[in-house]
Amino acid sequence: MYTTKTMSLVESELAKLVSGLSQLDLNPQIEYAVLSEGKRLRPLLVIFSAECVGGKRDKALRLALGFEMMHTATLVHDDIIDQDETRRAMPSVYKKWSVNDAILTGDALIALAVDLASEYGETIMKTVARSALDLCDGEHMDITFSPKMVNQEAYFRKIRKKSASLFAAAAYCGALAGGGTLSEANTLSAFGENFGIAYQLRDDLLDSTCALESIPKDLKATRLTFPLIHLYEVSNSERREELENYLRLLSEEDKGSRRIAAERIQVMLAKSGSIAYCKRSINEYVQKSVQSIMPLRDTVPKLCLIKMTESLVA
């Protein structure tokens, strides 16, 4: 109930923020991107982290909105890079308008995030900027990886930047905005990073095990998910070559070939134990995330963070 009420508050404040941008020519695109359905995990993390250290949610609210703007900007730009025509069952911004509109919309959202974060001082402003830089670097690592050059160490280095950095920054900055000590902020930052890693692992798992009415997004883009990396590492040279052939088929024009390749990859993942290994890794990072905030005093916001994390258990 507490989390639901907080989400409703975030949604309401996002709508108010966007309505205040009606003078912008890009307002329709910004509204479309920001007010589409989302989990709002990052703003929740900001608010609950602020409250965990005794802060008031209204003091951290605009910072929470800033983190959602930054996250939404990455989604708008990622859809262009991945050539994903839909986002949450709706046309992507670039598909509904144009690539140019989508690039500018993402840029505008980054500017809004910076503007909102600047209200909270230099330390928070720099943390937001550094997490944005990590996001860009992590995305570049993602699109340049190939099976022969990637391993689990490289994968975790990538997701710490691409996925976990914004969660860690949200928790860290939320704690600072709530008046927390540096020790409390670092504790919540560790929580955010472990939560972000578990979240990305779970996303990879879902992409590797979903029904094949449509080819999973990451498979379609031949992105190297955690189960795929594990499969490559535990395979002999013959199976690696087979996997590489199937990955190449995913880029073929023929839908039948793509579907067969995706099906074969999923069979290989299951037989190799890669799916089970991914589930164990998710559970490991969920436990790390929960344990990291145990030193904080027991409060309703702390319990909400724990429940958010435990919902990721495979």
The 3-state secondary structure of 188-256, one letter per residue: HHHHHHHHHHHHHHHHHHHHHHCCCCCCCHHHHCCCCCHHHHHHHHHCCHHHHHHHHHHHHHCCCCCHH
Residues 6 or more apart whose CB falls under 8 angstroms from that of 271 comprise: none
Which token pair is 210? Answer: 């979903």
Higher pLDDT residue, 144 or 79? 79
Quick one: which of 83, 73, 71, 90 has its CA closest to 222? 83
* Mean pLDDT for all residues in the chain: 92
Please tell me the chain's helix, strand, coil percentages from 3-state DSSP, rounded to the nearest 5.
Answer: 75, 0, 20
Which domains are assigned to the chain? 2-200+292-310 (1.10.600.10)
- Kindly report the backbone phi and psi dihedral angles of residue 90, in degrees, each rounded to the nearest multiple of 5, phi listed first: -120, 155
Q: How far is CA 167 from CA 53, 152, 213, 230, in A?
A: 17, 21, 31, 25
**pLDDT tens by residue, 218-276:** 555 556 889 999 999 999 999 999 988 888 888 777 778 888 888 898 899 989 999 99
pLDDT for position 23: 96
| Residue 213 pLDDT | 44
Q: Given its phi and psi angles, is residue 179 left (phi above 0), alpha (psi -120 to 50 degrees) or beta?
A: left
* CA separation for the pair 151, 193 (Å, rounded): 20
What's the predicted TM-score (pTM) here? 0.93
Residues 112 and 130: their CA atoms lie apart, in Å, by: 16
Residue 314 binned pLDDT confidence (cut-offs 50, 70, 90):
low
Torsion, Cα 57 58 59 62, to 10 degrees, reads 100
